[in-house]
Amino acid sequence: MENEMKIAFFDAKSYDKPSFEKYGKQNGITFKFFETKLNEDTAELTCGFDGVCVFVNDTVNAAVIDHLAEHGIRLLALRCAGFNNVDLRHAAQRGVRVVRVPAYSPYAVAEHAIAMLLTSIRRIHKAYIRTRDFNFSLNNMTGFDLHGKTVGVIGTGKIGRVFIDICRGFGMKVLAYDKYPAEDAGITYVTPERLFAESDIISLHCPLTEETYHMINSETIAMMKKGVAIINTSRGALIDAEALLEGIKSRKVGAACLDVYEEESEFFFEDYSGHIVEDDTLARLISMPNVIVTSHQAFLTEEALDNIAETTVRNISTFMETNACENELSYH
């Protein structure tokens, strides 16, 4: 095809390829899949391509953007909603346009958050291990009802609101905080301080910005109820992991359900089962009996993968045809 667009696809996994190949073929887009992540060392691989497709743990800082611009890359397509790993200001300065997938499946992430919570508080993961060993004792397996508990939801975008709907189905009281409240949503918005003080469970569904960086820290944990459960399916750096560890050790935090981790880029999506993990904080978190860590898999459903591929390809195709896209990110 004369106008076929060539896209360098970084941090490619086996589950990415079928959908992207299908939609790419339908729209005259050829993807070259690289298993390596995009960073300053691998940016040379983008030479000869029209655009680049990246995920959450690719590095798109000023130095990488300089490489892209020098190679004539016009488009950076994020196959995710978050964009904290991209220097948008420098991209704008160098003429590299950035598009994203604002919503692929809010149900996937919200349902995973609830699944982690239920697994933790009802000790499902421990029961699975016990019964596999024919141990049917119920000692130390006591959980608590979700019904009647107060859940604090930070961030009420599409994922946060789906999570709220699920919590209401359990008969939970919902408090929420968002810098930009959803109007006419029937949500009770409160200050962060009140949310921290009154919530039995706190779930994070907000983007990572300068304002939200380490919003869960030693000071905010001190405001929380003893035994609070904390869920994070958004971005790892919303939580100060060292402060969380101290909160767990002091029995202030009763449970932590983490699908993301601040320093995850070196470890998540890879198999380190035969290696010693050198991140002591991550190793200590995983060793805690009341911590569940999943490796950024909340998005990973068939529906979400298909939506991510379809939207990303549509973003690229629209940009190719019109030099504009409704899902373009502006630095401002």
Q: pLDDT band for 211, please (50, 70, 90 cuts).
A: very high
Residues 72 and 185 in one domain: no
Say how many domains are in the chain: 2
pLDDT tens across 197-210, in order?
Answer: 999 999 999 999 99
Quick one: 274 and 131 in the same domain?
A: yes
Residue 89 and residue 178 in one domain: no
Residues 123 and 183 in one domain: yes
Domain of 59, CATH number, reads 3.40.50.720
Is 224 part of a structural domain of the chain? yes
233 and 122 in one domain? yes
> Does residue 329 sit within a domain?
no
> Which candidate in 90, 97, 123, 264 is catalytic?
264
99 and 137 share one domain: no
The model's pLDDT over 120-173, given as tens digits with 9 standing for 90+, comes to: 999 999 999 999 999 999 999 999 999 999 999 999 999 999 999 999 999 999
User: Which of 67, 100, 296, 310 does the annotation list as catalytic?
Assistant: 296
Annotated active-site residue 147? The verdict is no
Mean per-residue pLDDT, 107-112: 97
User: Where would I find the beta strands (DSSP E) of 212-298?
Assistant: 228-232, 253-258, 291-293
Quick check: is 95 in a domain?
yes
Query: Are 171 and 115 part of one and the same domain?
Result: yes
Q: How confident is the model at residue 270 (pLDDT cuts 50, 70, 90)?
A: confident
Q: What residues make up the domain containing 255?
A: 106-293
* E strand or H helix at 248: helix 241-249
Whether residues 289 and 173 share a domain: the answer is: yes
Residue 332, domain member (yes or no) = no
Residue 264 bears catalytic tag: yes
pLDDT at residue 116 above 80? Answer: yes
3 pLDDT above the threshold of 70: no
Reported as a single tens digit per residue, the pLDDT across 291-306 is 999 999 999 999 999 9
Give catalytic status of residue 130 as yes or no: no
Q: Could you tell me if 140 and 287 lie in one domain?
A: yes
Model pLDDT for residues 170-187, shown as the tens digit of each residue: 999 999 999 999 988 899
User: Does one domain contain both 41 and 174?
Assistant: no
Candidates 204, 250, 267, 200; CA nearest to 228 is: 200
Q: Give exposure, 197-217, as e/b (b: 16+ Cβ within 10 Å).
A: eebbbbbbbbebeeebebbbb
- Find the catalytic residue in 112, 235, 262, 310: 235
269 and 191, same domain (yes or no): yes
Would you give the DSSP letter of residue 259? S
Q: Does 42 map to a domain?
A: yes
With respect to residue 330, please indicate whether it lies within any of the assigned structural domains.
no
Does 195 lie in the same domain as 57?
Answer: no
Q: Residue 39 falls within a domain, yes or no?
A: yes
For 221-253, write each residue's pLDDT tens digit. Answer: 999 999 999 999 999 999 999 999 999 999 999
In a domain, 145, yes or no: yes
Distance CA 204, CA 207 (A): 9
